[in-house]
Amino acid sequence: MQNTPYDSRRLARFIAASGLTNLADGIAVLAWAWVASLITRDALWIALAPIALRSPWFLFAIPAGIVTDRVDRRRLIFAADTVRVVAFALVTLVLWQALPLPPAAPRGLAQRSWRCLHGYPGANLRRDLRSKVEACSRRMYAASTP
């Protein structure tokens, strides 16, 4: 079997990675709200934590789409993940040094901004892959029908 972008193993790995990334994002929203509840008992501030985590999608959706269309998607995903790892490492060091925990919103905003740049190329890669698989399917069907 030829190793193509449509290989079922590669597609399964890509879908699994995408699903795990989305699961991790959901867990992060829950975790940051929990951290906010440890910092304060004010319901308004606790409710603002998930809003702050999702606001980059609102603020940077269009610019991220423009950047995604103009830059190689694999490099963009790699750069976004690299910045994300560095941000997590810095936050870990800051939290390690500064106990009790500081407010989480500024770090969440920065991390979600980069996630925006990571999510759009991934969605575009899935869409491109789906259209190529559908075209291949049509060709195979056309070849098999008399």
C-alpha dist (Å) from residue 105 to 47, 52, 57, 71, 72: 11, 6, 14, 29, 30
Look at the pTM and tell me if it is higher than 0.75. Answer: no
Pick from 49, 29, 30: which is nearest to 102 by CA?
49
3-state helix, strand and coil shares in percent for the chain, rounded to the nearest 5: 85, 0, 15
Q: Is residue 3 part of a domain?
A: no
The predicted pLDDT at position 52 comes to 86
The residue segments making up the domain with residue 38 are 8-144
Structural domain count, the chain: 1
Which helix (H) or strand (E) element contains residue 41? Answer: none
- pLDDT band of residue 134 (cuts 50, 70, 90) is confident
Q: Is residue 2 part of a domain?
A: no
pLDDT digits (tens, 9 = 90+) for 4-58: 656 788 888 888 988 898 898 888 888 888 888 888 889 998 999 888 888 888 8
Q: Is residue 15 part of a domain?
A: yes
Q: Is residue 43 part of a domain?
A: yes
pLDDT digits (tens, 9 = 90+) for 50-92: 888 888 888 988 998 898 899 988 888 888 888 888 988 887 7
CA atoms of 77 and 33, how far apart (whole Å)? 26
Q: Is residue 131 part of a domain?
A: yes
- Dihedral sign for Cα 52, 58, 63, 67, please: positive
The predicted pLDDT at position 118 comes to 59
Q: Is residue 1 part of a domain?
A: no
